[in-house]
Structure 1
C-alpha cells in the first residue's frame, strides 16, 4: 500500500476540478487506514477461545476494510491514477484473501457464544431476545453465591 500511495503522491495528475485532488488524498488516506485495520482485526480475532460474536464483529470490520480498499482503488483510477497495474495487483490479492478469509470464518466456533442482544452476530438459531440460561445460575455477576455471607 505504501508503494501505491508514494507513486500517487509523486505523480503529476491533472485535475479537471479542484475537489478531485481532495478526493485522491481521501482515497490514499483510506487505503492506508484500511490496510492497517485488516491485520489488526485478524490478530484481534485470532484467539481460538474468543467468543463467536466478537470474532464475527472483527470479521465484519475486516470485510468492510477489504471492500473499501477496492472502492478507494477505483476512486484513484477514476481521478487519474495511471499506474493501474498496481491497483490490478491489489484487486487480485484481495480476491485471494477473500477466499482464505471465508474459509477462516467457517472455523469460528459458533457455540462459544453469549447472546448478542444487538442481534447481529448470533449463531444460527439463536435470537437476540432468547432467554439466556446463564441467567438461571444461582450466583450473581461477581461469581459468588448470593447467600454466601462467610466472605
Structure 2
C-alpha cells in the first residue's frame, strides 16, 4: 500500500530529481576530472556530496509534512528546508561547471527539473492551512496577523491533572 504523499506530483518530481542527481554524480565520478587532494578536487567532492544530500532531503521533507493535518508552522519550516535544498542543487551544479565539468546538458536538465519542481512547490505551499497552527514563539512561521508574543488561549486551559480529572463540583 502506497502512502498518500507518494502520489503527490511534487513528491514524484522530487524523486525524479533525486534519480537525476544520482546519475549526474555517477557521470561526474567517471569523467576525466581530477579528484586529486588539491582544492579543486576537494571542491568537486564537496559539490557532489551536497548534490546527493540535498536531493535526498527534498522528498524526505515532503513526506514528513504532506498530511493536511500537519500544523502550519511545521509545514512552513519543512517548506523552507525544501526550498533551500532545491536552490542549493542549482548552486552546486554551477560549482561543478566552474571546476571543470563540461557535460552541461545534464546540468541544464537538472535546472529544468528544479524549475518544474519550483512551480509544483509554490502550488503545494498555497494549500497549507494557515489556521491550523500553534503560535511559533520564534516568530518565523505564524499566519498573517499572529505574532510570536500573542497570548495563546490554550495557555488558559487547566494543566493540573488532579484538577482536570477531579470529579467533584469544585
Q: Structure 2 length as normaliser, TM-score?
A: 0.81
Supply the distance in 2 between the matched residues of 1:90 and 1:10 (Cα, whole angstroms): 18
Q: Alpha carbon RMSD of aligned pairs, Å?
A: 1.9
Q: Report matched runs for 1:106-125 at 5 Å.
A: 106-125=126-145
Residue 9 of structure 2: aligned partner: none
In structure 2, the residue matched to 1:51 is: 71
Deviation, 1:145, is 6.2
**Number of aligned residue pairs:** 147
Distance 1:73 1:147, change over 3 A: closer
Aligned to 1:146: 163
| 1:72 paired residue among 92, 113, 116 | 92
- Determine the structure 2 residue equivalent to 1:9: 29
Q: CA deviation at 1:18?
A: 2.0
2:47 corresponding residue in structure 1: 27
Residue pair 1:37, 1:65 contacting (<8 A) in 2 also: yes
Identify the range of structure 1 (38-47 vs 17-26) with the bigger mean alpha-carbon deviation.
17-26
Q: How far apart are 1:14 and its partner, in Å?
A: 5.1
Task: Give the equivalent residue in structure 2 for 1:41.
Answer: 61
The ranges of structure 1 where at least 4 consecutive aligned residues each deviate by more than 3 angstroms after the TM superposition are: 147-150
In structure 2, what is the equivalent of residue 93 of structure 1? 113
Partner of 2:122: 102
1:147–1:111 Cα change, 3 Å: closer
5+ long unaligned stretches in structure 1: none
